[in-house]
Structure 1
Amino acid sequence: MRDDFRRILTQANRTNGAATLDTIEGALAALTEERAETAAQHLATLAFRYQGEDSFDLAARAYGLAAQASRARAALYHLAAIRTGIVDRCQRQAFDGVEDLLEALCEAKAAAGDRGQDDPSLVQIAWDYELAGEAESAVRCYLLAQIARDSLGGQVLTVDGDTLERKIRNLRSLQMTALAEAGHHEEAQALHERTRATLGLGQVRIYDIMSARQATAQGEGDYRELVPGRRIAEPEIHFLEGPVALTSVCGTLDAPPQYVARFKDCLTFPRSNIVLQGSRLIYDLAAHPDSGIADIKDGKNTDQIMTAVYGAGRALVEEPAEIRTLEFGLMMFGLQSKNYGHWLLEFVPRMLWFNDPACPAGFPICIDDHMPATHRQIVELLDTRGRPILPLPAQAVRFRELGVAPVPTFFPFDARPDVPVYDSVWPKDVLGAMRRAVLDRLAARGVDLRPTGRRIVLSRKGFTQRQLVNEAEIINALARYGFEVVYPEKLSFIEQIALYHSADVIVGSASSAMTNTIFCNDRARVVALIHENRSFNFRGYTSMIGSSGAEVLYIRGTTVPGEKTHPFHANYTVPPQQVLRGLERVGVGP
């Protein structure tokens, strides 16, 4: 019998594995205790071989037979059988029985006294599914990894550093978005329902997307147009190297109307731009004819308090667990409000329309409470009607009546990965009016805004993204030209505006700090440094700076290789000689 048993084992392979194990199982009862222990060792060896061949179903059964045959090592073989059985089921996408196996695994580990690290990596299996584009299988594995973590102390983070909960939520969002874009909103709603309790999320409802103007046209609010839609010019872009063939797409030159609208009984989410009213989602960007190119981030960013997906004219938004109620408010909160560039371009111009007589004077100005102090200083400076400023925490808010105003242009946070970058063009009339309002208010306070001939170089040393790596070298080269180094983030808003307006020459990275060149004097010369990415929003910066009357010259450097970041935020270097050539080009000498 011993020779027959050995022959059967040595001839076992993936093709005859099931039949071989059937034969072995039938022969185990006839073995003596001593031979049974030997047979168990051989079965464990066979199981290990099957594992190496990715035949986890056969490996699990072989380990199970080894546990059946052995007395001395039965607990260890049983534990190995459960571990390989889990891998087998996950790889075959037979997920329904795995939760029971995880419970059995916990008991088997205790019985075997096992405290090792040999439990199957459900996170790795999930990651493999994710890389293969099989989102549902990845979600199921991550959910099982979550159970394993809570009961067995498994992995806390995924391969790319996300928490399990964040990973599941992100994958669900991708799945739901694909369904929504195909018009299958109810299916997306059902998909969310499967995992929402596990993630601690609320139910989602389906809303029709519309602009503020469309919503009021249906009799659902009050709309006062203050500046009509109009045609604007494409900005002329100047590079030190000469003409550059940009790979981005010029944004619309049809500037949208500027308005004040009021809506009653609205649900809003600080850190986000959407307004919910009844069955409507009011959001100009999502309702825009070009919204298909936009990667709408509301409901996706890590600091947001709800889930939202968009597609085919409708959206799914998670119902909040807790809602605060306010009587009135003006919407100066939203996506990326804490970022200075987004704040100055997307939010601050709204103060022009909130100051208009068409807007009620008694409404408080509602802002996000995580914004830096400079943001609030701008609101206080521009408000001409003595309204209170109300910072809102990350909690859903229902307004009895809410005043809203638009972004000056169609400005997607980001374009979809499969389309060219959309380079928004900013209307000179709106930014110019904001500029004049700020400068007039400062002048009324006695701030000295006279040009002084200063030459400033804007440091980005305190930031990790879009960093000018050889900044110190450039600063040294500019010192003999009379340049002084400025750290804008260390100055108040008023100090920044007075400084920028007084300067005749401004050199710096095309970043948030460059946004304040809106307030420079109309004779200033601006040299903007940036990496070589031809899809960068050069039109956006040019139109923004041009609202002051000044012109900008771009100098493209070289991106630092090997960095994993958004191409727009890559760090880069610029040779000092190029900067000096740029100054000569704009008429600046030592």
Structure 2
Amino acid sequence: MSETASIAEAIDPGLANSRALSPRASRQMIDEPVIHCFHRASPAYGHFIFDCLAPILSLRDVILSGRAKILIPSFFPAWGPRILRAAGFDVASHLKFITKDVAVCPEVILSTAIDSRNCFRPVREICQSLTKLPEAVRPSSRKMIYLTRRNQVTYSDRTISNEDEVVRALVKMGFAIVEPGNLAFEEQVSLFHGADIVVAAHGSAFGNLPFSRPRSTLIDLMPTTYINYWPRRNFGPERWALNLTTFFQLNYLLVFCQSHTVEATTKGASSPIVSTVDIDLLERAVNAAKAFQHPA
């Protein structure tokens, strides 16, 4: 954990924007120690789990003892409080909400995971706390699940052009089709904790990987667009799913999907990514996964 604003500004350049705020901007004085880890990408479920929830759980004793509260920004996702409650925190006692344009915090603990490094290069001591959450959840009876991004609001605009075909093939092979973005946190934990094989488009649904049992299998449908997608972040290749499955002792099968970007309809918005899944390759990956030794 880093405890200086200068470090925060270096690893989260968006904080520099506070210098350009209007003098008329309303200011909120935070008169107690707080923990800041919910960065601007935290509304994306995967970032929420690895960059924010994991560091918070590593400081559980500090929070529960009242020595510091969790700082909650204005862009905090609506589903966030439920996850924090499920993790054992009380919204009224352990959270501090920012209600003004600017929050002034004399005492703040800043997570080094604020630059997403815990996704790309997971730290054992930080991630280990996540594996304890399924202890109070009954595992789902669904052994093979496909996670679709359709019919839900997602942080990033990524679609599969032939998803109907993907669904038909997987249903024929015995998969249940699930929309994780429309499920409560506890239900997502239950699904991953019970599944032997998970097929999903590359993205935030992988935030549930810590809840999987060792030797279960992830089949990652990754757009080819994601090759060298993050060169400016100095994280190297797009291998965070491989890093995480290795850390949690899961099997990992990668299915590259031909993809292309579509021009954004709004200036400054990210470009949507559309990919196409090779059904034959997907079926081969599933058959390979079925041959693995499954969790006990």
Q: Does 1:430 align with 2:122?
A: no
> Contact 1:331/1:404 (CA < 8 Å) preserved in 2?
yes
What residue in structure 2 maps to residue 528 of structure 1? Answer: 220
Task: Go from structure 1 to structure 2 and tell me whether the alpha carbon gap of 1:581 and 1:335 turns closer, same or farther (over 3 Å shift).
Answer: same
Gaps of 5+ in 1: 1-258, 264-274, 276-280, 288-295, 300-305, 309-316, 413-422
Inter-partner Cα distance in structure 2 for 1:532 and 1:550: 23
Query: Within 5 Å, which residues of 2 pair with 1:107-118?
Result: none
Aligned CA-pair RMSD: 3.1
Compared CA separation, residues 363 and 435, structure 1 to 2 (3 A): closer
Asked if 2 retains the 8 angstrom alpha-carbon contact of 1:468 and 1:571, the reply is yes
1:349–1:407 contact (8 Å) kept in structure 2: no
Q: 1:571 aligns with which of 274, 277, 280?
A: 274
Check if 1:363 corresponds to 2:58: no
Assess, with a 3 A threshold, how the Cα gap between structure 1 residues 372 and 503 changes in structure 2: closer, same or farther.
same
Matched with 2:7 is 282
Match of 2:14 in 1: 298
Q: In structure 1, what residue type is equivalent to 2:10?
A: A
Task: Report if aligned partners of 2:215, 2:250 keep a CA contact under 8 Å in 1.
Answer: yes
Match of 2:252 among 522, 530, 552: 552
Distance of 1:562 and 1:495 partners within structure 2: 33
Which amino acid in 2 is paired with 1:456? I
Distance 1:526 1:580 in 2: 14
Tell me the CA shift for residue 404 of structure 1: 3.1
- CA distance in structure 2 between the partners assigned to 1:343 and 1:365 by the alignment: 13
Give 1:459's aligned residue.
148
Structure 2: which 5+ residue stretches go unaligned?
A: 230-236
- Output the CA distance in 2 between the equivalents of 1:366 and 1:409: 17
Alpha-carbon shift at residue 501 of structure 1 (Å): 0.9
Q: CA deviation at 1:561?
A: 6.0
Check conservation: 2:149, 2:181, Cα contact below 8 A. Answer: no
Q: Are positions 1:587 and 2:280 aligned together?
A: no
| Residue aligned with 1:335, SS | coil
Match of 1:448 in 2: 138
For residue 453 of structure 1, report the CA deviation from its aligned partner: 5.2
Q: Deviations over 1:508-529 (max 9, x none)?
A: 1011112212211112111010
Aligned AA (1:336) = A
Could you say if the C-alpha distance between residues 297 and 408 of structure 1 is closer, same or farther in structure 2, counting changes exceeding 3 Å?
closer
Maintained 8 Å contact 1:337/1:368:
no
Provide the C-alpha distance between the structure 1 equivalents of 2:114 and 2:69, rounded to a whole number of angstroms.
Answer: 22
Equivalent position of 1:324 in the other structure = 28
Distance 1:410 1:511 in 2: 14
From the superposition, tell whether residues 587 and 566 of structure 1 become closer, same or farther in structure 2 (CA, over 3 Å): same
* Contact 2:134/2:193 (<8 A) preserved: no
Compute the displacement of 1:562 (Å).
Answer: 5.0
Partner Cα distance (2:275, 2:37) in 1: 34
Aligned CA distance change for structure 1 residues 521 and 531 (closer, same or farther; 3 Å): same
- Superposed, 1:90-129 pairs within 5 Å as none
Matched positions, count: 273
> In structure 2, how many angstroms separate the alpha carbons of the residues matched to 1:362 and 1:385?
14
Contact in 2 for aligned 1:427/1:543 (Cα 8 Å): no
Radius of gyration: which is bigger? 1
Match of 2:108 in 1: 402
Larger RCO of the pair (alpha carbons < 8 Å, separation 6+): 2
